[in-house]
Amino acid sequence: MRERSLVQNGRFLHQLSPWSGSAVYSAGDGDEHYGVAVLAAGARLSQDFAAPLSRVYTLALRVKPLTISLMTGAATAVIRDGTGALVKSIDLSGSADVWTDLRFTIGLVPGTTYELELTNVSHAAGLRIDDVWLWPIVATRSQLVGQVHRRLSDLASDASLSYSPSYVGSEGDYTDAVNAGLRAAGAIDPETDLPDVRWLDAGNQDSCMRAIEREMLERLQRKYALLTDISVSDRDEKLSQISTNLAKLTSSAPGSGSANRHVRIRPLKRETNDYELG
């Protein structure tokens, strides 16, 4: 399952197969997309899949409505079970001529074949769909950031750190740190070589968060390293102490004893005396 998705070819590389329906394949959109599905009004796209475990799964896709923004009910994503019973129906949203990332959570269980159906119900100008995937996520990028932000506590508040989407990135001031944390935890999509929460396993979640926290502490250390102590009348602020203490938190302070530690791996050597010969 190279894409780590329950649905196949959600990136529509070279074709729409194994998807079925009346959508049309397009080789690209003039940007980073490698292939897209184009749905005229009334067109649909569907694929069957199975859930290997009882989990809360994340359905993610990118939508680009043409000419005008999507109205409520104009495009939908619907999941049904093997009997045709409705599991979840979702209204898709998106601004005109802009790719919009959408994510939804759905509880799924083994023992049935599900169908995912994407439909352009009534958007006359048509819409494009890409990067469809369905997978259980240990933690979203926003959840990782939220926990680290709370851990930093007053440090985050005093430095006015924000995790709201901005020109800096999708997680504001934390975007680069999240990418670094995911890479440190080995959560990397092998196809794109980019950090991806789909590849974050439960056993690596804590190490990922620690890596994100460390990245932010080092950033704060560099910020406070530029500040100097001030003394005005009876007011005395030792701002340099903040940088020193941050350095201790990241175990990089001079004399901390950990800055120059390395793990060395040597080949195992055995001699005749290591064996008991009978």
pLDDT band at 4 (very low <50, low <70, confident <90, very high): confident
Q: Who has greater pLDDT, 191 or 100?
A: 100
Q: What is the percent of the chain where pLDDT is above 70?
A: 82
Task: Kindly report the average pLDDT of the chain as a whole number.
Answer: 86
5: pLDDT strictly greater than 90 = yes
Crossing angle for the helix pair 141-152 and 205-225, to the nearest 10 degrees: 50
Q: What is the pLDDT of residue 233?
A: 64
Domain boundaries, the chain: 20-135, 141-222
Amino acid identity, position 213: E
- Joined together, the tokens standing for residue 45 give 């796209």
The answer for 146, left when phi > 0, alpha when psi is -120 to 50, beta otherwise, is alpha
Residue of 152, 154, 144 whose CA lies nearest to 250: 152
| Beta bridge partners of residue 135, listed in sequence order | 58
pLDDT band at 277 (very low <50, low <70, confident <90, very high): low
CA-to-CA distance for 255 and 150, rounded, in angstroms? 29
Amino acid identity, position 16: L
pLDDT band at 236 (very low <50, low <70, confident <90, very high): low
Task: Tell whether pTM > 0.95.
Answer: no
CA-to-CA distance for 77 and 114, rounded, in angstroms? 13
Q: Are the CB atoms for 20 and 43 separated by under 8 Å?
A: no
Tokens 């958007």, located at residue: 123
CA-to-CA distance for 119 and 75, rounded, in angstroms? 6
CA-to-CA distance for 257 and 166, rounded, in angstroms? 38
63: pLDDT strictly greater than 90 = yes
- Which range, of 20-29, 82-91, 248-257, averages the lowest pLDDT? 248-257
Q: What is the pLDDT of residue 240?
A: 63
Q: Are the CB atoms for 19 and 37 separated by under 8 Å?
A: yes
- Which range, of 18-32, 65-79, 101-115, 254-268, averages the lowest pLDDT? 254-268
Q: Who has greater pLDDT, 233 or 202?
A: 202
pLDDT by residue (tens digit) across 85-124? Answer: 999 999 999 999 999 999 999 999 999 999 999 999 999 9
Average pLDDT over residues 2-17: 90
Average pLDDT over residues 122-145: 94
pLDDT band at 46 (very low <50, low <70, confident <90, very high): very high
36: pLDDT strictly greater than 50 = yes
Q: What is the pLDDT of residue 235?
A: 62
Q: What is the pLDDT of residue 169?
A: 84
Residue of 136, 131, 128 whose CA lies nearest to 191: 131
CA-to-CA distance for 276 and 278, rounded, in angstroms? 6
CA-to-CA distance for 159 and 74, rounded, in angstroms? 43
CA-to-CA distance for 243 and 226, rounded, in angstroms? 9
Q: Are the CB atoms for 136 and 201 separated by under 8 Å?
A: no
pLDDT by residue (tens digit) across 200-228? Answer: 998 999 999 999 999 999 888 888 776 66
Q: What is the CATH number assigned to the segment(s) 20-135?
A: 2.60.120.260
Residue of 169, 186, 63, 76 whose CA lies nearest to 120: 76
Residue of 172, 198, 176, 178 whose CA lies nearest to 187: 198
Q: Are the CB atoms for 123 and 134 separated by under 8 Å?
A: no
Q: What is the pLDDT of residue 253?
A: 41
- Which range, of 37-41, 64-68, 136-140, 273-277, averages the lowest pLDDT? 273-277
* Pure H helices in the chain: 141-152, 154-158, 175-184, 205-225, 240-249
CA distances from 27 to 5, 36, 38, 118, 127 (A): 21, 6, 10, 19, 15
